Structure 1
Amino acid sequence: MITRPPESRDDEHRGARAHFLQVFLSQRSQMEALVSRRVGCRATAADLVQDLFLRFWRRPLVQVEELSTYLLRCAGNIAIDHLRSEGTRVRVNEGWRPDAPDSHGSEPQAALEAGNDLRHVEAALRALPERTRQIFLLNRIHGRKYAEIAKAMGLSQSAVEKHMMRALEACKASLREPPPRTPGKAP
């Protein structure tokens, strides 16, 4: 077996990094345009492409046949990942967002009420059985589908649906219940 001296490996590593940097910089505008078309925001696209660069720069370089094509495919994938995470965030926020305050209410009061609602929901979730809470979090926070959760937890999809109904009902009930009154205080 032939081993290369350490200097030779360092030279190869520097050469591979230089090649990667050259190809990345030559493809950057194309990657940003591709990502921008998918996510609808040039600034977000620039950030995502920069994140892609950092991912590659921090790990050992992979040997691919056509680096420029590979980078474009990775840029497309990072845009899809971003859209998925944004979709999950929107679904979670829509599920938690209280009805919009009326135009006569004040913003600080609305923020206070929203904070109270969130505390009630958190308390309701903490009171759920562990499995029900875990299923709820996997679905609503991590964006997992019922079938994925069922497979991962060794349950039927019907059981997952029942756990979700129980969790959602507990959350809704926590928002319907009037807040506990402090003795001695008038409403």
Structure 2
Amino acid sequence: MSELPPHEPCGPPPATEPSAGGSEAMLQTFLQQQGRMEKQLSRWVACRATAADLVQELFIRLWRRKDVQVEDLGQYMMRSARNLAIDHLRSQRSRLRTESALLPEQMVGAPSAVEDGHQADHDLHQVDAALRTLPERTRHVFLLNRIHGQSYSEIAGALGISASAVEKHMMRALQVCKDSIDMDSSSRNSHRKARS
């Protein structure tokens, strides 16, 4: 991200030429400057979509003040776009500082990627522990299918059992895995309720 120039006053420069104002001049100048403003803002905010949104916001602001008269409307638009980018980045930094200062229990919304990773790791251990409680043949069938990618008919041929027997072993293994995660999930929920 490029360094932004200092924030300049948002008010219009002193009026000089009446012909430079008006909705027609504003629209024409905006359309000429739009690509240039988006390109510049995109470098500053490091996101093309955000840059496009900011330029649209700028258009709305300028349209509300379309009768303002300035010496160089194009320069005025570029300066206004730069100020919008600065305001956006300041607001973003402020929000990030606020979020990083919050304790995990104060955060609102979805869990972070780190929490998701911990939860997935925990669930994997739960499933592994549940699989260890299965009879060896059932566990072997499950591992051949889910880890080694073998089909039911391949497993049946390798173990000398019917495909329907393989299916029964798989159903049993999957039910045990599901029950272990469901049980752990309900245990966590009741623990959370007890704490609150």
TM-score, length of structure 1 as denominator length:
0.47
Larger Rg: 2
Structure scoring higher RCO (CA < 8 A, sep ≥ 6) equals 2
